[in-house]
A and B are shown apart, each in its own frame.
Chain A
Amino acid sequence: MNRDTPPPASRSWRDIPQQVKPRAMSSGGRRRLLIATLGWLGGLTAAAALGAGVWLVSESWRNPGSIPGAKPVPIRDIALVDPNGVLDRDWLVRTLALPPGATLGGLDLPGLRARIMASGQVAEAALFRIYPAALSVHVTERAPVARVMGQADGRSPHPFLVARDGTVYDGVGYPPAVVSSLPWLAGVKLERRGPGFAPLAGMAARGARPGAADLLAQAKLEAEHLYRTWKVVSLARLDSDGVIVVRPAAGPTVTFGTQEDFSRQLAKLDWLLDTLRARGTGASAIDLSLAYGGSHQVTVTPGPADQAQAAPPASAAVPAFQLLSHPIPSVPREF
């Protein structure tokens, strides 16, 4: 026999067809067949149900509101959950500007979130569908630390608020007293970005160097009687000299350095102003930026004594600044 041609295969018992008609089965066999058939049908039904479920979910994900058989219900409630600022539900409704009769399924949540986030006042936003007909919005607001004059979208110049991270935004809903208590920022250049402005450099800390927001926050927290008098905070020399110049409504211009802790500088300033006031000596400028790295030099430029300086405040006997744990060291005798 040629080894390249396969030999004929003998018929094996495996060639016997194993199927038998149900009538040739015993009752036990028919019962097993029925159970097996039902099992198959059950499996098929389960698989079909699973497939339909997957299809419905994917369809609702891809094309919201298109689930067949599901009757769309108009949104009845829009809730602002856990607000941490001044924004209210009215602002939210205005911002979302949902068309009448909008349904949850038809909402474009990413688009709505972008609409909310377009306001610089909002740091973070999350929207949730609460079936059957409610939309829940979680908003985290920015808090203003300063204000700056700007002109946007062809409108007349008007004040914008500046957050700790340097975000410049059109504040909504703040009481006028809060806005008017904020110092003005000077020496900054507003750069247009989209409909608003780019975040201001120098407000937030950059690496080890603290930012102007840190000074303002620390002053408001630890020496509020000084902070209240501050009208203009200039960042003009922040990049070049690493100093922040503060011009109060009355009294000497103060220059803060970014090399030394703001708390120490504020304590020195408080002590100096008290001392000057006690002596009845006037000063036009105080430079605290030199006192760092073991140096205790503070440059005080003499000037006319003004009324505010001459009259010691009622709280002078008990300084408002309490954080200084040791007496102020040697103060230069130049003044």
Chain B
Amino acid sequence: MEIGTAKITVLVGEYTGRELAIIGCGECQSRGVIKGSVVDYKAASECTHAALEQAERDAGERVDCVFLAQTGGHLEGFYNQAAVNVKSADNMIDRDDIRTVCDLAKSKELPSGRMVVHHIRRPYRVDGRLVPTSPENLVGQRLEVGYWTVHGQEQRLADNIHVIRGFNLEVRELVLSSLAAGHMVTTPEERQHGVLAIDIGGGTTDYVLYRDGVAHTTGVLPVGGAHFTNDLSIGLRLTEGQAEKLKLRFGRAMVQAKDKGEKVWLDGNFAIGDRQFPRQAIEQILAARAWELLEVVRKKLGPSFSPEACAAGVVLTGGTAKLPGLTECAGKVFGVPAHVGEAPSWVAENLREPGYQTALGLLYYGLSSQAEKAASARSRGGFLSGFTRLFAHA
């Protein structure tokens, strides 16, 4: 389930023991949610529960638990690393060494009112040598590891959980939206070579930078497609509905010279109130916002991002990724090729829209973790480590 600013999406999946199947879908226009955070509990509950009921009806099954996408401007991340000297006499790294260095790297205390959402492990290093998988039984003197820790505000996290619990459903896992969407629109090869996935939703923009096959840096900006609409509304003195309509019909994130003299009708039905706007004005407003948004993402990434370390380019997803010209804009801002992410071939045609990638990623994660559990019959570790395995080692 993704509780977004623009819409709430629920996908119901079933793991039959051999295959993963999407058996139901529920969608509802979001209310009471601003920039990924619940601001009106009742309104948010109503639309969330409506989407859940619709998904249950569509699936013909009762939902057991929920994997919830987590976004919002309150989410932040930091990197912390730790190192230990290998304790055994023969310098062979054992499980105890690995556990110790991982615990140390995750042990940084958070400010009051903050809670960990994810610990995303980066590759181990043994005497400075990068080890993509487990360093157990390797020989070395110094073992290092770092974690990108994502944390959020306790009240905001609790609000999201309580909205789901209001439908008497258990939240089995909170998954960062950017990780869920990023995992769906990028391939393992792209993640290995370095890729930046940006999910531009209605109220927030989630991004994740992959390097060496794992999530390196994540972030959330409280800016999304709604701000594009708002800019148009203010700039052209329109209502939000009119601005949204113009954005969808004529919006473009890059100014095109050929559109300089073109004018477009607001409604096109010649009714009272219908009027013309210069198309270039629409493009200029949207392009300025798109450029600014992507620039902020680049600044937030800081030294973590460099065109050389992002060989696979930028992948855009989310509802706003459909805005024409946004890929060119991203290519210019980041200096690498950009494209709109595509869902894997096994996804049904009606779910291939960029707006569904986060929910699909959640479903993929949830069902994969169940399949993984069933296959390996390994109960220790839990979902959190399962998540780390899936997103950190894939």
List chain A positions with a Cβ less than 8 A from chain B.
Answer: 1, 3, 6-16, 18-20, 24-26, 28-30, 32-33, 36
Contacts of A9 in B (CB 8 A): 107
Q: How far is the CB of A13 from chain B (nearest CB, A)?
A: 5
In the bound complex, CA of A11 to CA of B167 (Å): 25
With known contacts A3-B100, A13-B174, A15-B115, A20–B166 Cβ distance under 8 A: yes
B interface, over-half SS = mixed
The answer to whether B157 and A13 have CB atoms under 8 Å apart is yes
- Among the stretches B45-53, B193-201, B229-237, B332-340, the one at the interface with A is B45-53
B93-124 CB contact bits vs A (8 Å, 1 = yes)?
Answer: 00000001001101111100011110000000
Q: 8 Å CB contacts to A: which residues of B114-168?
A: 114-117, 149, 151-152, 154, 157-158, 161-162, 165-168
Query: Of the candidates A7, A24, A25, which one forms a contact with B104 in the assembled complex, judged by CB atoms under 8 Å apart?
Result: A7
The answer to whether A10 and B166 have CB atoms under 8 Å apart is no
| 18 extra interface residue pairs, beta carbon distance < 8 Å, beyond A13-B161, A16-B161 | A1-B107, A3-B84, A7-B106, A11-B114, A12-B116, A13-B117, A14-B384, A19-B165, A20-B162, A24-B41, A24-B162, A25-B165, A26-B166, A28-B167, A29-B168, A30-B168, A32-B169, A33-B168
In the bound complex, CA of A15 to CA of B114 (Å): 11
| Interface pairs (15), CB distance under 8 Å | A1-B104, A3-B100, A7-B103, A7-B106, A9-B107, A11-B115, A11-B154, A12-B116, A13-B152, A18-B170, A20-B166, A28-B49, A29-B166, A29-B168, A32-B169
With known contacts A7-B103, A36-B168, A16–B116 Cβ distance under 8 A: no
Asked whether any CB of chain A lies closer than 8 Å to the CB of B171, the reply is yes
> Of all chain B residues, which has the CB nearest A11?
B115
Query: Of the candidates B149, B167, B174, which one forms a contact with A25 in the assembled complex, judged by CB atoms under 8 Å apart?
Result: B167
Task: Determine the interface band of chain B, counting residues with CB < 8 A from chain A.
Answer: 35 or more
The answer to whether B109 and A29 have CB atoms under 8 Å apart is no
A interface, over-half SS = loop
With known contacts A11-B116, A26-B46, A32–B174 Cβ distance under 8 A: no
Query: Of the candidates A7, A13, A20, A25, which one forms a contact with B107 in the assembled complex, judged by CB atoms under 8 Å apart?
Result: A7
Contacts of B157 in A (CB 8 A): 13, 16
The answer to whether B108 and A26 have CB atoms under 8 Å apart is no
In the bound complex, CA of A1 to CA of B52 (Å): 47
Interface centre among B106, B166, B169 (most CB of A within 10 A): B166
> Of all chain B residues, which has the CB nearest A30?
B168
With known contacts A8-B107, A16-B154, A32-B168, A26–B115 Cβ distance under 8 A: no
In the bound complex, CA of A26 to CA of B53 (Å): 12
In the bound complex, CA of A29 to CA of B41 (Å): 14
